[in-house]
Amino acid sequence: MTMRISTFFYTLWQGIRNIFRNKGYSAASIATISASLFLFGLFFSVIDNISYMVHNAEQGVAVTVFFDDGTTTEEINQLKIALEERPEVKQVVYVSADDAWAEFSKEYLGDYADGFTENPLAGDDNLEIYLNDVSKQGELVNYLEKLDNVREVNRSEITADTLTGVNRLLAYMSGFIIAILIIVSIFLISNTVATGITSHKDEINIMKYIGATDFFVRAPYVIEGMIIGLVGALIPLGFTYFFYNRVVGMIADRFSMLSNILKFMPAADVFRYLIPIMIALGVGIGFLGSTLTIRKHLHV
């Protein structure tokens, strides 16, 4: 379909006119789309942040292997090299008993550590294994437990699994709510456009007998829907953008003791995806709503 520049602007102008000729309905549609896309933005930010935290937590998830007494440093080092060959393993750290005691006493005992003259963890050399893929943790633990020199394998699975579970639940719930809201939005846009078409019946008929193509008759209504969708996306985007840093700052303040888990994504990272997704959603909803109506009401 070739189109002159002047025709394009004329059509665009007609679409904008339609919105203003039909203020009440247009406003209602924009409000619903804004509401649904605001919720979308909200859930998106939350889910995105939880994923981000899960990812961070996973980085810290480690399997710790302790060895039978009498296992030599040589043997431990051999196992370390063997483990590093495995694809799911990201890093293996050798923690000597002295290292372990130093860290433990620093973290939990502080000044009281001076009371110990000997290392109570003597002989507790261990390997900390960090994984690329947390889901492979069980498999790895099984493998380790069968090894000869291994006395004990400690795993720390809880944080990652819980977070993933919460995230999934939230995703399903928000998906459901958003789907309903999007359907309502499409319905409302469709109604708005239908009202416009009905009130312009005469104009449409005139266009038809002058020889307007279907495309020319329909385009302003599609544009009307798309502009409504676009505005309906920009409003909640502005809103979310304005409040994101404030809310994140507030939560971090309130729950400062959880600061090692509550690591939020920087706004720029969230909005890099949120902006195009929301605009595409808004315009898409508008396009769909108007196209459906035109099919039904505008027999050119």
Contact 224, 196 (CB under 8 A): yes
- Binding another protein (rule: CB under 8 A), the pick from 170, 207, 262, 279 is 207
Tokens 């370390």, residue? Answer: 80
Site membership for another protein, residue 206 (CB under 8 A): yes
Site membership for another protein, residue 70 (CB under 8 A): no
Q: Which is nearer to another protein, 24 or 211 (CB)?
A: 211
Q: Which is nearer to another protein, 182 or 219 (CB)?
A: 219
**Residues whose CB falls within 8 Å of the CB of residue 3, separated by 6 or more in sequence, listed in order:** 11
Site membership for another protein, residue 77 (CB under 8 A): no
Say how far residue 260 (Cα) sits from the centre of its chain. Answer: 20
Rounded to whole angstroms, what are the CA distances from 118 to 101, 114, 123, 299?
10, 10, 12, 91
**Binding map of another protein across residues 186-205, x = CB under 8 A, - = no contact:** ----------------xx-x
d(CA 266, CA 244): 9
**Shortest Å distance, C-beta 217 to another protein:** 9
Could you give the 3-state DSSP secondary structure of residue 56? helix
Q: Which stretch binds another protein (CB under 8 A): 23-31, 129-137, 208-216, 286-294?
A: 208-216
**Residues whose CB falls within 8 Å of the CB of residue 11, separated by 6 or more in sequence, listed in order:** 3, 216, 219, 220, 223
**Shortest Å distance, C-beta 5 to another protein:** 9
- Binding another protein (rule: CB under 8 A), the pick from 10, 43, 243, 287 is 10
Site membership for another protein, residue 216 (CB under 8 A): yes
Contact 171, 47 (CB under 8 A): yes
Site membership for another protein, residue 211 (CB under 8 A): yes
> Binding residues for another protein, per CB under 8 A?
3-4, 6-7, 10, 202-203, 205-214, 216
